[in-house]
Amino acid sequence: MKKIYAQALLLVSLLPAAASYAALPTYDFKVVRSYPHDTQAFTEGLLYRDGFLYESTGLNGKSSIRKVDLASGKVLQSKDIPPQYFGEGLTVWGDTLVGLTWQTQTGFVFDLKTFELKSQFAYPGEGWGLAQNGKELVMSDGSATLRFLDPKTFLEVRRVKVTADGIAVNQLNELEVVDGEIFANIWHTNTIARIDQTTGKITGWIDFSKLYPDAGKGPNAENVMNGIAYDADKKRLFVTGKLWPKIYEVKIVPRK
């Protein structure tokens, strides 16, 4: 499991208090609809493409990539990741799926239709979340830094430091680009940060503390919120968590 550093614990203790003292808006949500989700899926990456969800799962020996029917939650297609790898973030680029691994500094490129492994690439440090903005891949590594990668060479082309009122915010996990903004799960919280991808400044927090009260509790405290997918055509936002029984379609609303 990912190690929680002292700084991360401090961050978790401040959220959502940080949102209250910072000059940043906090948003609430409304559930539009819920869908079944595999409670054995240790969700690391989530995305929506052409009517289906694609999901990556973690844990050594249990990592996989999956194509999932949204309405039923049925896994239509899957491919196991070799057991020495802990699967992490996943995004789509063209006719491929690109996935990260946690501590093995290895990324994989799969054919979108067949899930056949096409190639792999290396990167320094850890791999956490992965998304794309139409020009670059956006990668998190658990720190307050977002890396932007060339989708052809997988080399870093730039990076931004994510801050809230000038304070670095780390533990950035699963990512999604939503109408030009980066949405990022803050690991071990029920908070999503809205991030300006040019400056790295957080423009607001989305508080999901009331979405799934069992998150982070029970015999497996790793069942935390993680997983953001966006249907850009229909403007639908989906969120879930590790081992959660449901995926939620939500609408973000201002806090009253």
For the beta sheet containing 96-101, the strands, ordered from the edge strand earlier in sequence to the opposite edge, are 87-93, 96-101, 106-111, 117-122
**What mean pLDDT is predicted for residues 193-218?**
93
Residue spans per domain, the chain? 6-254
pLDDT (tens digit per residue) in 98-146: 999 999 999 999 999 999 999 999 999 999 999 999 999 999 999 999 9
Q: Identify which of 73, 74, 91 has the alpha carbon closest to the alpha carbon of residue 33.
A: 73
Contact 35, 246 (CB under 8 A): yes
Structure tokens at 7: 């700084």
Count Cβ atoms below 10 Å from residue 124 Cβ, excluding itself.
8
> In the CATH hierarchy, which top-level class contains the domain 6-254?
mainly beta
The residue among 169 and 18 whose pLDDT is bigger is 169
pLDDT at 4: 38
Residues 162-175 have pLDDT tens digits of 999 999 999 999 99
pLDDT digits 0-9 by tens, 23-67: 899 999 999 999 999 999 999 999 999 999 999 999 999 999 999
Res. 10: pLDDT tops 80 = no
Phi-psi region of 225 (alpha: psi -120 to 50; beta: other; left: phi over 0): beta
Neighbouring residues of 152: CB distance < 8 A, sequence distance ≥ 6: none
pLDDT class for 16, splitting at 50, 70, 90?
A: very low
**pLDDT attached to residue 22:** 55
Is residue 15 packed enough to be buried (19+ CB in 10 Å), middle (13-18) or exposed (0-12)?
buried
